[in-house]
Amino acid sequence: MSQNSLYRRVADFERKIIDVLLEAEFPGRSEIRQQLNDCRVKTIDENGSLEFELNTHIKADVRRRIPIEGEIEDADGVLIHVLLHVVNGEVKELEIYKDDSSHIIRMPDASTLRLIQVG
């Protein structure tokens, strides 16, 4: 079993990204925050996308699979997208990718993440 298949605690820089995403008001936000209080994650790709393992049965009543998204420029100026995926009321994934599909050079500070409210 590879190390990437093991769930672990959320790293500080990952928590900061999540916290910034949850600053926006959207349906299901408080339940998502509760789900993520005591979750574990595993890295699922080279960009740092995360899969969540929840330790609660609380469900979030969201309108769309991706209720909130953020974007930020990488060091080369190409946009990095950060999407929070919720499936059947449970946070499943934090997807991170660049517009041009290249590798992320340096993940910028989460405080500069621009939020895009999807629904």
Tens-place pLDDT, residues 3-33: 556 999 999 999 999 999 999 999 999 999 9
What separation in angstroms does the CA of 68 have from each of 76, 106, 119? 24, 22, 7
Q: Where are the beta strands (DSSP E) in the chain?
A: 40-43, 50-53, 68-73, 79-87, 90-98, 114-117
pLDDT 10s digits, 42-55: 999 999 999 999 99
Name the one residue in this structure whose structure tokens are 């919720």.
86
- Percentage above 90 pLDDT, the chain: 87
